[in-house]
Every structure is written in structure tokens, then in C-alpha cells.
A and B are shown apart, each in its own frame.
Chain A
């Protein structure tokens, strides 16, 4: 067996100590700890490379990644679903069809001059874009997850994921994958840059402006949604400003809007009068108020805590939080110095930080691919379905507060879902898989009725009226101008015709080879190798023993050499079981 350093957390009294560790404290295991927190883990070769750099160069390579070439990063290839007639997309189907009824055209679609359901194509058009942007966003999330696996700048991707959950917008409301694409680019570029600049850019991003109703925030009639969340969730946290501050802040943001993908200011709708905000008075605009927010010490503490909890561990003492806030503030909200301080610190390598982090679902899946040495996220199982089952839908956080994270990631149901995703990745159901991008859900029933020759009225009728919901009742009492239910189906069809299919390949793995390279000769050595490679927290002896027993029984021998020609599937099940342990959920 190769010489493997064991699990070696630093002493307990390193906790809360921001003093740097020394070269003498540096080891393979510490490098593994670093990569699992500041990135998504790695193969033993990758961890060894990091260890070989030595402490300071290792951390510099993670934090100051800009000069490191990143050849596998490719631009997202769009399916071509959008066209300019969709600019100013209506907020609801009634708005879409009313536009057509009033003006004869809506979203580039004319009403029919004669005949039944003259506005049907407009209704179809509305649903086309809803389905199109939803489906393209699934592709976008998958593309992003592959970047996380393939990047040579793991901390950049990890921080981009943090900012996506922090400055949360979701496609379900934004209804435009292109604006979500802008968010990913913004979070990658600003991942470890200046937080004041990032906050300003987020506040001026079309996704956020739309998400928090900026278009309704105008002079004389401020809408407070945006102003409140900027302070409560993005910068200061609740309790550090008054309701009066919220109202004044909203006034400062009046007139901000977007046109298609560009930020705009409408001077006519901007309230240029004096505002008193957080104790300062002036004719502030949105940028001014953000700058004032960043003058508050609490902002530095709030954001430093967010970064620390995401990267290191849930538990953060008020004293350490104050110290971290001071570092961020002293560096004018530049993130890199704070990251360097954290990642070099004794606290980061202390016993409390080892296994102190519960991986999020996307992180769990990306980490799995990194651990297994795969260079892409598989197409089977579907990436989005997998992470949704585990409680995280990329580009669709549940609310503006993002994901709660930490312990909220784990419930009995979600823990079970994690094990199930591991199984689907390791032992994918290649013959039973159905691509949900091309399955119209409940709308599909209508489609098969249409294809069976029923007219629209019959196709959308419910067979057993006594079992009809009020929702269906409403659908039956439909406007004769159009039929919305059928539009859901037609819209999906139209979008799916253009959608670039997602490749549906299995994860490319060779665990047998992995175990042989790990110089395992016996099933016990194979299990120990996999546990060492996959876990950052040791598992119970009883679990380890039952894994050895399982593998031996499956292989019919305890000799890996004897079983080398047929051991892949049994090893995959072993990996599935390891990934189902409580310990695999931690980093």
C-alpha cells in the first residue's frame, strides 16, 4: 500500500485563531482539507500536486488564480430560442392576450383575421417562451456544473456558487435564461473581487432589477422590495436600519430599470431630492446608498460571516466574526485578502473545521465527480433532477433569501435522496432513463389526445367531470378567443423543436483501475482505499467492516487480484454505500 497520511486535524485550541499555520503544519491531509473547502475536492493526484506546492504557494494558487490557464472553460452554446419580439415579455398570460385583443399583435404574433380562437397563436407564443426559458435554464445549470468540475480555478467557482445563493434571483420569476446567464458571468468575474463593486453590479443587473420589482419603483411611488432586500439580505442583515431608511433607500433607487439586457436610468422617474439615509443626508442615488451601506462596520461583519460559513463551518463565534469583518473592512472589501487569511489560519485547520461543513447538493454532486476522477457531470441521471431531489435547483433558489444551507440541507428525506443520486450516478439506469426535457408532463396527455384526432375542446375536457377540480372547471369556462391549456402543450413542443439536446451519457468511471492504482490487494484494502479517497471524516468501524464483508461476498473472494476482471460493479456499489454514509455529507 502507498504511504497515506491519515486524518490529521489541528489541535482544538487552534479554533478561532487567525494566526497562520507554518510550513511544518502542512501535509497531504491538510491540502485535502483545503481543497475540499476552497473547492470541490480532487483526486489523490490533484491533492498531492497542491501539497507539493507548499503551504503559501498552494493557497496563492487557489486565491490568485487569474494567471493560471483554464483551457476547458467554454462559452454556453445557446439553442437560439429568443428573438427581439420577446423583449418586454408580458407578466401574465392575460396581459399577453389582452395586448393582442387591443392592438392585434402581441410578442410579434398577429391575431387571426377570422375563425375560431383567433388569439390562440398569441397564447401559444406566451407559453412557448415560458417553456423555452425554463428548458434552456436547465441546460445552463448543467453547463455551469460542468464548469465547476472542469475548472482549474476551483475557488472561483465555489465563490460564484456562494454569490448566486447570496444575491439570489430565480429564473422561475425572471423568465429569461439570458439574464440568468449574465448572473453567472457576473458572479464568476466578481467571485473574489471587491464586494462593494459586486453589490453595485448586482443591483444594476437586469435579473435582479426584474426580480425585485425595480420597474415599479418610481418617483412619487417607491416600491420598497428592492431597497429592503439590499440591506436585509445582501449587506447588513436585519436590525441595523430603520423603516425610514428603507423608504429613503427606495427613493434613491427610483428610476433604475433595464431594457432587454442593459441597465438604464430614467431621470424622469428618479427622485433626485434629498434623502436621509443611515444618518447621512444628500441627493443620493442607488450607487451612493450602496457606498453608504459599505461604510457601516456591520456590513463587513455580515458579509465576512457569510463567506466563512459557506467555506469553513457553520459555527462562528461573535469574536471571530468581528475579527473577520475587520480584515474585510481593512482591505476595502477586497475578498482575496480575507480568503487568504481564512485559508492560512490555524482556525481553518483546527479540529472544529474538519468535518464542520455540510456539503450543499450541487457541491455534493460536483465533489462526487471530482473524487471519482470523472471530467464531466453525467447526462444520466439528469443533473437538475438529481439536485432538485436533494433540495437545490440551480438558478432557481427558493426565494430572495437563497438557500438556507448548513443543517437545512439534511433531513431524513434529503439524506436518502443523496444516497439515491449517488446510486444513479454509479449504477445509472441507462435503459429506463427518460429525458424530461422532451416529456411535457401533464400537458403530454393533451398532446396524445390531439394526435389521436380529438379537437381542442375534446382534448382539453376532463373525462370524468365528477372528479374535476375547480381549476379544470375554469379551463372549461374558457374564453373562446383561445385555449390556454392547449398552449402549455404547444409551447413545449415549439420550444423542444429548437432546444439543443443534452447529451445523455453515463459517468465515465473506472473504479477497478482506481483501486488497483491504489495498490489494494485485498477487499479490506480496497474498502480502506475508497474510504480514504472519498471521506473527510472517518466512518464507524462497524460500517467499514460491513463494507468489507459486502465486497468480499460480492466478489466471492477477498483477493482483489483474483477478482480484477469482474469487480467494477461491486466496487461501484461499495462507492454508493460509502456516499450514503453520514460522513460523506461532510467536508
Chain B
């Protein structure tokens, strides 16, 4: 018990970490050798739940997923008019109702839907949308469309949950560089992609000096201040992540492995106090301008299988009730197919909110395929910040208006 408390003492504050000194906590615990004393018993799980409670995992399908070929409006003849070649035939769909069907590669998520755990939200976007991947994703990251914010919406959510910034490792970002969404005022996100590389290679005699690298020092400027800050948290965080990973039994799960959700599962199993996980897909694999059918089929299948595998893991770990996953892109794609058997950048898209706490079903108003806007595009019927507000308020229990700067109507997608 004492050991566990110290391990999940990743709950120490940044101030504590500075006081302890970078590496001090980590090296003292594991010494870089031997098994890590993780104790996974019921009592510790209960303690972890009390400490970390509900978890939100955002899985960002970067590249602009083609929502119309994900949740397919096969009941609307206009769909096949707009997409004579790449439109998905009715017989190839996993039907939801007389109007909509799942792309068959979405089988993994469809199973969860059948169990009543998936909310499908259609028509999600924002006014005056940008057709640029990078601009649009920055709007989503900051929750500030056609505007901006120094901090990301996850970072601001962490501030709302813990205004004093006393809780460590509130946010984890599985990425090779920090995603704007997780940038926060009071919390340094833990950013990594490969736990096995997330450690300092040192010779034994070098260790005392490495501990001194985080020594208090007057920064000469902004860049220096930033590097000093990261340096202080690096040593401690790396020990904790590696310990979690080395204990994680799901490492060889091929469904998870492809898309980094295994790292999230490992940290959750190790009882990290993290409440917010952000996992952006690597590479722009959903950017299907050309010959989109084969790559889109494959990409959806990888993603849906990974999501299914992830929830299977949550069930095994016993945390399925505590985790909600939110899936979105930076935009959908244009309604008519282009002449390269693909689709160009578009507007409104389909989102998914998944978890035991979710009331399954179709939410949001499906955009019309007849009254297109902005040059052959779908009209936005749900502002993405409504979905954010739903997650912040309905799931995490924080003040959404404070995070988002204004009040948004929420969706009734969570079980009471």
C-alpha cells in the first residue's frame, strides 16, 4: 500500500517535484533495475478511483475523416447522386436503421454501439469553417474557431478541475510533440510516444550529476525558462511511465499497438492520476483526396479495432465504467466525390462518444444532402463546443462555461 501510494505519487505537485529534485523520486523508487513493485489489489484500485475518478480519452482522427463514408446515409438517394463511384453500396453496410449504416470496417465500434455504449453525433462543426487541416485543428485544439487561445481546451479543463495546479500528471499526450489541445497554464502535460525510449541512458557514476541538471537556476529568457521547466519534470515522469509500461500485459496486442492506445491502457492500469488523455493519430491517414476507398477502409478498420481492443482492456482492468473516449477529426469532407476517386476538405463531420457511461444512439441533426452550403458542403448542426461542454460538464463535472468562455447547450448523451 505504501509503495503504491508513492508510485501514484505522480500526484505530487510541480512545486513538490522541484523540491524533490528531478530524478530524486524516480531513481529512489526503481533504481533502473528489477521489477517495479506495482501492487494491483482491490483496495488500491478503490484508492485510485477515489484519486483519479473519471477519465476522458480524446482520440483525434487527424486528416479529415470522411464522415459520410463512416456513418453512411444510404437511405438518402442524394448520397449516391453525389458519390456515384465511391458511395458505399447498401449491401456493404452494417445497418443502424432505415436511413444510416456503419461502414463495414467500423465493426469494432459497431459492436460497442450494439451494447448501447456509443453516441453518434452528426453534423458537428463550427461557423465559417476553415478548410485547412492545420488551421482547423488549431481551432479544435483551442476551442476557439476563427480566433485563438494560448492554451488548449484540455489544458483549460485541467485548470478548471484543479485550479491550484497541485495535481501532477493530470494530462497525458501520446505524441512525438506536444499537441496544442493539452497546453495548459497550470499543468505540464506528460508527452511521449515510446515508453522504452523515455529514459535517460546513464552510467552509474553519472547519476548524481543528472539529478543536478534540474538545479534551481535563473533563466536568461523565455526559451531557457521553458527548457528548465521541462528538464525538472522529465526525469520523474520517465521513471513512472517506464514502470507502468514494463508492467503492462497488453503490449503485444496487435489491435492496440498500431494506434498508441496501448500506452493509455498501460497508464490507466498503473493507476496514473491522469484524467485527460489526448491521442492524435500519426500521419494524415484520413486525408483521402485520391483513390480513397482502399486506404479509408483500412484506416477505419485499424481505428475501430483499436477502440474495441482498448475497451476490452478497460474491462479487464476493471476501469470500463470510469473511461469515456471521444473521437473527432478537424473536419469532414466535401459531399460530392472529386475526379480522383477521393474527396476534398469539407465541413461538418461525425463524432463518437464511447463508454459504459454513455447512452447509445444517434444524436445531433443529420445535415441535409440536398441543401448544401459553402460550395457543396454539409451544414453544421451541432457546434463542436457543445460536445466539448457535454464532456467537460456531463462527464468530468467541471464548469464548461469557464473552460469555453461561454455557455453551450449540452447533449444528453450520458446516463444519469
Using a CB–CB cutoff of 8 Å, the interface residues on chain A facing chain B are 9, 91-92, 94, 213, 216, 218, 221, 223-225, 228, 232-233, 238, 243, 246-247, 313-315, 351-352, 354-358, 389, 391, 398-399, 401, 404, 406-417, 419-420, 423-424, 427, 467-472, 537-540, 542-543, 546-547, 549-550, 553-554, 573, 576-577, 580-583, 585-586
Contact = CB atoms under 8 A, between A and B. Distances in A.
A540 B216 contact: yes
Interface in B190-219: 190-194, 197-203, 205-206, 208-210, 212-213, 215-217
| A-B pairs, 8 with minimum CB distance | A469-B254, A412-B234, A540-B217, A221-B339, A542-B215, A411-B191, A413-B192, A582-B227
Contacts of A213: 289-290, 340
Contacts of A550: 205-206, 208-209
B208 A546 contact: yes
Contact of B200 (A225, A233, A416): A416
Interface string B245-265: 000000010110010000000
Nearest to B188: A412
A357 B223 contact: yes
Contact of B227 (A94, A221, A247, A415): A415
B176 interface: yes
Contact of B289 (A216, A401, A546, A553): A216
A540 B135 CA distance: 40
Given A213-B290, A423-B201, A543-B212, A314 B223 contact: yes
B8 interface: no
Given A238-B134, A407-B226, A411-B191, 10 more contacts: A314-B222, A355-B220, A406-B223, A411-B177, A413-B193, A417-B197, A546-B208, A581-B213, A582-B224, A583-B227
A401 to B, nearest CB: 5
B86 to A, nearest CB: 14
A414 B192 CA distance: 8
Contacts of B208: 546, 549-550
Contact of B255 (A470, A542, A549, A553): A470
A573 to B, nearest CB: 6
Contact of A411 (B131, B192, B258, B305): B192
B205 A573 contact: yes
Q: Which one of B210, B212, B305 has the greatest number of beta carbons of chain A within 10 Å?
A: B212
Nearest to A212: B289
B177 A414 contact: yes
Given A398-B283, A550-B205, A470 B301 contact: yes
Q: Which one of B177, B198, B206, B217 has the greatest number of beta carbons of chain A within 10 Å?
A: B177
A18 to B, nearest CB: 19
Q: Which one of A224, A233, A409, A424 has the greatest number of beta carbons of chain B within 10 Å?
A: A224
Contacts of A539: 217
B221 interface: yes
Given A216-B340, A404-B177, A358 B254 contact: no
Contacts of A408: 177-178
Contacts of A412: 190-192, 198, 230, 233-234, 237-238
Contacts of B197: 389, 413, 416-417, 420
B296 to A, nearest CB: 13
Given A314-B222, A539-B217, A225 B289 contact: yes
Nearest to A540: B217
A216 B254 contact: no
B383 interface: no
A543 B193 contact: no
18 contacts: A9-B220, A91-B290, A218-B339, A221-B338, A313-B221, A354-B221, A355-B221, A358-B227, A398-B282, A410-B226, A411-B178, A412-B191, A413-B192, A415-B230, A471-B254, A471-B302, A550-B206, A577-B209
